[in-house]
Amino acid sequence: MHIPHYHKKTSWQLIFVGFFFGSIISYMVFTYMYGTMYEEMLKENMELSNEVTELEQTNQTLLKDKEDLSEQTKQPLTISRIDIEIEDPESMRIDLLMQDQLRALIREEINHVIGEEVELVSRSDKLLIATIENKAFTLDGMSYQFRVRQIAFGSELRVVVLPESVR
């Protein structure tokens, strides 16, 4: 097979040179576009992989926190502190110093519930109320009796008492 001698004509030479430079320019444009697209894809891939890593770490942290909380909920809630509030102390002329001393006496009387499970103490709330109401707390030669107005059970046992009588 024989190729015609078109390569000797100037017009054909210009066409072949145009094809050559056109292919080089198109290859360079293609390489630039492919590189730019590939660079953007790599950038997006890195951002997504960083986001996935961050979300996995967050997920692991949340799972660990959930396990810690589930372990804590398996342990029964115990009473760790007793808070006594004397309501309307002015009615029996109880000053601040006497309030603190009376709170200490009441707290001493029901101190055995510290460390006990909240559920157990809440079931025996009538006994706790009777313990406070049936005891006369003596301070400076005077006996004070209290009526329990409210009890709140939790890690902190909160008891609100109202002074009833002074003897």
Q: For the segment 85-103, what is each residue's pLDDT rounded down to a tens digit?
A: 999 888 888 888 889 999 9
Are 58 and 89 contained in the same domain?
no
Which residue range(s) make up the domain with 39?
A: 5-74
Are 22 and 44 contained in the same domain?
yes
When pLDDT is averaged across residues 126-132 and rounded to a whole number, the result is 94
Q: How many CB atoms lie within 10 A of CB 121?
A: 20
Are 118 and 150 contained in the same domain?
yes
Are 85 and 162 contained in the same domain?
yes
| Distance in Å from the first CA to the final CA of the chain | 135
Domain boundary among 74, 99, 114: 74
Are 152 and 107 contained in the same domain?
yes
Q: Which amino acid is at 27?
A: Y
Domain boundary among 44, 74, 104: 74
Phi, psi of 148, deg, nearest 5: -80, 125
Are 85 and 145 contained in the same domain?
yes
When pLDDT is averaged across residues 143-158 and rounded to a whole number, the result is 93
- Tell if the pTM clears 0.75, that is, is over it: no
Are 39 and 88 contained in the same domain?
no
Number of domains the chain contains: 2
Are 57 and 30 contained in the same domain?
yes
Domain boundary among 40, 57, 74: 74
112 has pLDDT over 70: yes
In angstroms, rounded to a whole number, what is the distance separating the alpha carbons of residues 156 and 78?
9
In angstroms, rounded to a whole number, what is the distance separating the alpha carbons of residues 74 and 66?
12
In angstroms, rounded to a whole number, what is the distance separating the alpha carbons of residues 117 and 157?
11
Are 91 and 157 contained in the same domain?
yes
Coarse DSSP helix, strand, coil percentages of the chain, rounded to the nearest 5 percent: 65, 20, 15
Are 91 and 162 contained in the same domain?
yes
Are 70 and 87 contained in the same domain?
no
Q: What percent of the chain has pLDDT over 90?
A: 60
Own/partner long-range contacts of 11-14 (Cβ < 8 Å, ≥24 apart)? none
